[in-house]
Each structure stands twice: as C-alpha cells, then as structure tokens.
Structure 1
C-alpha cells in the first residue's frame, strides 16, 4: 500500500507521451542493430573461429596424438625434449594439453590448411595462439576441431590462459610455420 495511491488504477492504459515513444523506438532500433551485428561480426570479424566439438575419451585422443607424432616426427626440440611434427598439408593434426605442456610442437606450411584437433588429458586449459588472436577453451573429454590456414611464417607461441595448477606459468607450446 502506498502513501498516495495513483489517481488512476490502470496505468498501462494511459497514452504514451510523444518523447517517450521516440526513446522507445530508438532503444528498439539500437537493440536490432546490436542483434544483427553479432552474426555479422562472427562471420566477417575474424575474431572467433568456427569450430567443432566432439566428446572423446582422453585415452582415445592421446592414442591419436601419439600415432600422428610417431608418423610425422622430423626432430626433437633440444630445449624441451618434445617432438617436432611436420604433418602433410590438408591432414588432421592433433595437439594435446597436459600438466604443464602442449604436446607435440607443430611445424606447418604457410598458406596450407590443416584440421587442428585439440584436447586436454587432465584439466581445463586455455589455448591462446600468440601473437594472433586465437583463443579456445580446452576441456578434458572433448575434442575441439578448428580448420587453420597459417598466412604468416614464423614461430608462434601457445599459452595456457586458464589456471591449471602450480606449473601453469610454464605451460607453453609452439607452432612453427615455414
């Protein structure tokens, strides 16, 4: 109960003032612009990658990654003792995250497409490819698949940007593009 009840009980039957109607129309138009901007930005903004995700047991994914590494290893990185894998262009490439490394190191060819499969064996990890703005959340039990076509040569760092434990700050990986 209010101190001074409204003189008319059916307030929603009151006519809307002209200036209020203008602001309502402006707000609705702005909502429509923002709503339409989201799919446009997803398709043409080059910010978020379209990806696929599949439920995959960690043991199965690890066996796929090991088989790919065994078939295409060209050398072993002297500093980290992680295999450097050079898969053929157009192939499926597997990379796994585990405490506290990205495995294996990939060596890809410029302007060639690859289907990159990423998963975690233990905890949630973040896959952030630097200096490009590729950022994915990687979960154990799920395989994230992204089609990538490197358009620059060089060495790219993979940083885990989801806290995954005591060694989180050391969880780095590499992708070489020739």
Structure 2
C-alpha cells in the first residue's frame, strides 16, 4: 500500500484491526479514563476547584443589586475615582462587577466568616484572579457567577483580570480586604 495512492479497498472500517493498533487504542482509552476520574477526584477530595452556581442576568438587574449593597454597606471610599469600600455582615450576598477596566466596588470581608460572592461582567469576558491565593474564575457577561467563600487569611488581596479585555487590560486591578 502507498500513502500517495488511495487504498484499493475504500471501506477501511471493514479491515481487520492490527494488534498494535488495538493496543494503542486500549492504552489511550485507559489513560482517558484515569484522567477523567482524577478530575472528578480532585474536585471532590482535593478542594482545589470552587463550586459555582451560574444564573442568567442582565447588566441592569445586576447593577441594581450591586448598587443596593453599596448603598447599604459602604464604610468609606478609596482611590482618586472614589471607589466605595463595602463591609457587609457575615452571610451577606456580596456583589462584584467587572467592567472596562475596573472591579467595582472594593470589598472588605471578615476572616473565617462566610459570604456569597456574586460576580458578572458588564461588557466583555474578564478573568477574576485573586492574588496571591490563585483563585481563578472566568467572568462572562450575561451570567451571574455565585460562590460561597470563607476567607481564612487576613490582609489585602489584589483582584486581577487575567483574560485580555482591551488596551487598558493591564490596569484592571481591584482590591479585597480581609480583617
């Protein structure tokens, strides 16, 4: 048989499987199964992936919820843009908006208390990366991502967009305080 000429027998699937081909198919299938069950195992037992709920939303609805939280729990403003710093009580729904090129508002949470963090993007895909803890979430417009978080370290954390979102992508940095 030649690789240049088409096979004489066009129905290739009716040809018998070579022993070596069968061995490689079996090895590839076994490896796929190992990788599949490792992903499930790491999610359940490794506690490395956040379990999120995702809901459809509109920018107007999410903005209204975020503004209500900001109006209720603002403790001060920071930066030249006067970004509000909100300090919600334990168990609260906390809202965070990603938009060109900022995260809004600044969150101030308490250590070892649980919150429900709601995030969305108002314009383009953004990546939520909490540094230095290495939490990464894709934030997509039109969807509200909800996750339970319990900060276990005090300090100031940076929220960085790790999904290229335009010319000022490098300036899309926010803050999160844990007291």
Q: Which residue of 1 aligns with 2:127?
A: 126
12, 16, 24: which is aligned to 1:12?
Answer: 16
Cα distance in structure 2, aligned partners of 1:22 and 1:63:
59
Distance 1:167 1:24 in 2: 47
Q: What stretches of structure 1 of length at least 5 have no aligned partner?
A: none
CA distance in 1, matches of 2:17, 2:120: 58
State the alpha-carbon separation in 2 of the partners of residues 22 and 61 from structure 1.
54
| C-alpha displacement of 1:78 | 3.9
Runs of 4 or more, structure 1, over 3 Å off, are 1-6, 20-31
* Greater C-alpha radius of gyration: 1
Which moved further from structure 2: 64-73 or 32-41? 32-41
1:70 paired residue number: 71
Kindly indicate whether the alpha-carbon contact (under 8 Å) linking 1:47 and 1:133 is maintained by their aligned counterparts in 2: no
Describe the superposition over 1:84-133 as per-residue Cα deviations: whole angstroms up to 9, x where unpaired.
00001111000001111100000000011111000111111111111111
TM-superposition CA deviations, 1:2-21 (whole Å, max 9, x none) = 69989xx975277x48xx87
Aligned residues: 173
Counterpart-to-counterpart distance in 2, 1:117 and 1:110: 18
Structure 1's 29 and 81: CA in aligned 2 closer, same or farther, altered over 3 A? same
Residue 139 of structure 1: CA displacement? Answer: 1.4
Q: SS of the residue aligned with 2:16? A: helix
How much does 1:60 deviate? Answer: 0.6
Pair 1:162–1:25, CA change in 2 (3 A): closer
Moved more, 93-102 or 163-172: 163-172
Tell me the equivalent position of 2:117. 116
The aligned counterpart of 2:49 is 48
**1:76-155 correspondence runs (5 A):** 76-155=77-156
Could you state the TM-score of these two structures normalised by the residue count of structure 2? 0.85
Q: CA deviation at 1:47?
A: 2.7
